[in-house]
Amino acid sequence: MDGAWLLYRAGEKWRHPAFKVRAIVGTAQREAVGIDLAEIEVVPTRDEDDLVGHLGPDPLGPDWDAAEAARRLSADTRSIHVALLDQRNVAGFGNEYAAELLFLRGILPTTPAPDVDVAALLDLGVRTIRTNRDRRHRTFTGVDRPGQGTWVYGRAGKPCRRCGTLIRRGEQGADPTRERITFWCPTCQR
């Protein structure tokens, strides 16, 4: 989940330094430039399932299965933040999405997944990730100005954009080696 893929017209000047580039995949018209990628694996099509077959439904995939994603997520007994990040439940949501979606639904990150309306959470997640897919910069607030696109992610100690309560920061993970930083508003998320 490290790095980013940026799309350019063939020959277009990159918006980042070349030393960060790890891969370029392209056609005569377009190229996808992978920057700061931690790992890249190229496999024959016949072996793709060995690499990604364990992943849950993908909200950006043509075969998105909302019911299966909801079934997997609601069967996970861990906290909703941890369960949402588990790519075996649903593929594609990273830490920023987890923090922002939970804020938007008013859910504490520590809430057990079975106690959450996962269908509504996934519906919001799908709409959000699809809306952000073609944007240059992600936004969860609807504001596309630098520093104003998130409600809680990366905003520990700053006032909530909704209620003014200071945003809190913690850590959660499937185990101590996989902990991620969580952000939430103690007033807006209960």
Q: Tokens 């588990």 correspond to what residue?
A: 86
Tell me the C-alpha distance between 8 and 113, whole Å: 39
List of domains in the chain: 61-184 (1.10.8.50)
Burial of 11 (0-12, 13-18, 19+ CB in 10 A): exposed
Tell me if the pTM is above 0.85.
no
The pLDDT assigned to 131 comes to 95
SS3 label, residue 140:
coil
Cβ contact 143:149 at 8 Å: yes
| Residue ranges of the chain whose pLDDT lies below 70 | 1
The pLDDT assigned to 1 comes to 58
Tell me the C-alpha distance between 188 and 190, whole Å: 6
The pLDDT assigned to 106 comes to 98
Burial readout 72-85 (b: 16 or more C-beta within 10 A, e: otherwise): bbbebebbbbbbbb
Residue pLDDT, tens place only, 124-137: 999 999 999 988 78
Residue 164 vs residues 2, 77, 99, 160, 185: alpha-carbon distances, Å: 32, 32, 17, 4, 9
Please name which of 166, 167, 164, 165 lies closest in space to residue 153, comparing C-alpha atoms.
167
Query: How many other C-beta atoms can be found within 10 angstroms of the C-beta atom of residue 21?
Result: 16
CA dihedral 143, 162, 99, 73 (to 10 degrees): -110
